[in-house]
Chains A and B, each alone.
Chain A
């Protein structure tokens, strides 16, 4: 795996290259490419950016009244950290993700992505988004779907997207090297989701928001996909906010799992995952994995019982 990362290096330039080499970029190069924290267990190759959510509340109008969707959410996410949001349906996980992504307005509090407001982060393409369904454009081949996000709003981007050779390498990594010119309808559901993941990484954004990207997949493919995501993330070290309903998925992927409660949506428990990185399927037998699973499950049980 390490060899593959080195294989990617020659194509990288600027702060991205510096981050991969472990050099600390100058302040003018953007704080997003700073070294990863030890919490993530990753080396200085991280290109992630910090995300700060402070006292955020949101209401949705429902006829004559309002639905209190989020209540004073406070989350600090370090650069290169992988954070999962888990909770019952309607607890505001996806809403929070969209607030961070600048796709939904919020009424109270502050959100910053690498020091910028969500709208600014969106305009400068600092956020990669992976929706619940692959949402591939049927008329574009795999290769052209992956480059879609890089093709729009070119002027706004402050981070360069991955080069063609880097994208090809990522596609080969996820087993799509022989499917570059295929249309989405010629791919299975799992393959489509892999394209969606590569598209998200190919943007070169320091922060990735993923909204239950594996929810529509069968259990076997889902299990395979979570390790594929781990592999991609451990190569690049983006900051990831990942929404899921699956406890095993949240525990094996994350540095931190935030359990949310409903009515109104709020964070009730933060589980810091102490499993070492890189992670593998063997760690599912680790005592610590089972303890984290139990803690998150209990916390979710308490939330449901309320």
Chain B
């Protein structure tokens, strides 16, 4: 766990001293600032490229102009972001709930596993975006088709990861619990489920983005008049380039915030897991 500093002799003195190291708070601050530095560098290159090569704002506006546009119309984006966020969150939650139930049954029964696998492979192999018009026909132009598209996008990663996690139990710990005739329910709650959490969080991070993609696609296909998918589509059709890029920026912002929140929860819940031994825990892996 701890690494002993290599002892070195200071030249001429003969005494042993640890090699000089930067103070810990300096290293920690550097790690916190690093992601911001990365973003600033990318935006600076983008800004410079557009200005130096005089790129048309219709092709690519500068990030600064997009930020200025967002500042001018915060209410507009906030209203539409709420709609998309809610659709994505519902879709995310539905997929998580359904996958937990299905994966639990699959992990406990070979028959359920074998009968579910073809359906999962079929769903995995189908570009699920094409289901958006189908849901539109089934459920109309309302809120739920978008939620369902978001849920379908998240369902497969959640189910496969949770199933893998539930199956990947330590055989020795499993045998230990069997040696005192622990029930299936006890083995599930004491061993299988906690051990599957790293897999579930891994899928959870992936699905933050997928839920947003699902909600946006649902809005684009669903003839919606609300949501960031709709504002982006309208921006593209009417050549409102600032609106198109504004929608993209807000979507990206929501995705980043969602991931950071999840990483914070993961760092707390999975503090026992080796993945959290990285400086900064899950947030560092973003």
Contact = CB atoms under 8 A, between A and B. Distances in A.
Interface string B255-286: 00000000000000001111001000000000
A183 to B, nearest CB: 5
Report, as a range, how many residues of chain A touch the other chain.
20 to 34
A15 interface: no
A165 B68 CA distance: 65
Contact of A135 (B173, B187, B197): B173
A203 interface: yes
Contacts of B181: 122-123, 125, 153, 156
B34 to A, nearest CB: 26
B191 interface: yes
A219 B186 CA distance: 36
A149 B175 CA distance: 12
User: Does more than half of chain B's interface fall in helix, strand or loop, or is it mixed?
Assistant: helix
Interface residues of B, number: 25
B173 A203 contact: no
Contacts of B194: 137, 139
A122 B272 contact: no
Interface string A111-153: 0000000000011010111011101111100000000110111
B28 interface: no
A224 interface: no
Given A139-B272, A183-B272, A129 B1 contact: no
Nearest to A152: B182
Contacts of B170: 135
A103 interface: yes
A153 B179 contact: no
Nearest to A102: B179
A279 interface: no
Contacts of A136: 173
Interface string B180-197: 111100110011001101
A152 B183 contact: yes
B172 A131 contact: yes
B69 interface: no
A184 B187 CA distance: 19
A237 interface: no
Given A151-B190, A153-B186, A131 B175 contact: yes
A153 B272 contact: no
A139 B274 CA distance: 11
Given A137-B173, A153-B186, A203 B272 contact: no
A48 interface: no
A101 interface: yes
Interface string A157-193: 0000000000000000000000000011110000000
B179 A103 contact: yes
Contacts of A129: 175-176, 179-180
Contacts of B197: 139
A101 to B, nearest CB: 6
Given A138-B273, A152-B186, A125 B180 contact: yes
Contacts of A185: 1, 272, 274, 277
A101 B272 contact: no
Given A103-B178, A153-B180, A135 B190 contact: no
Contacts of B176: 129, 131, 135, 149
A186 B277 CA distance: 11
B177 interface: yes
A129, A132, A183, A203, most chain B CB atoms within 10 A: A129
A281 to B, nearest CB: 29
Most chain A beta carbons < 10 A, residue from B170, B173, B179: B179
Nearest to B174: A135
Contacts of A102: 179
Contacts of A101: 179
Contacts of A125: 180-181
Contacts of B274: 185
A171 B248 CA distance: 57
Contact of B175 (A103, A153, A186, A203): A103
Contacts of B195: 137
A184 B176 CA distance: 17
B180 A203 contact: yes
A209 B180 CA distance: 12
A156 B178 CA distance: 13
B172 A135 contact: yes
Contacts of A151: 186, 190
23 contacts: A103-B179, A122-B179, A122-B180, A128-B179, A129-B175, A129-B179, A131-B175, A131-B176, A133-B172, A139-B273, A148-B190, A149-B180, A152-B180, A152-B182, A152-B187, A152-B190, A153-B181, A153-B183, A153-B186, A156-B180, A183-B271, A185-B272, A186-B1
Interface of A: 101-103, 122-123, 125, 127-129, 131-133, 135-139, 148-149, 151-153, 156, 183-186, 203, 209
Given A129-B179, A135-B170, 4 more contacts: A122-B181, A127-B180, A135-B173, A156-B181
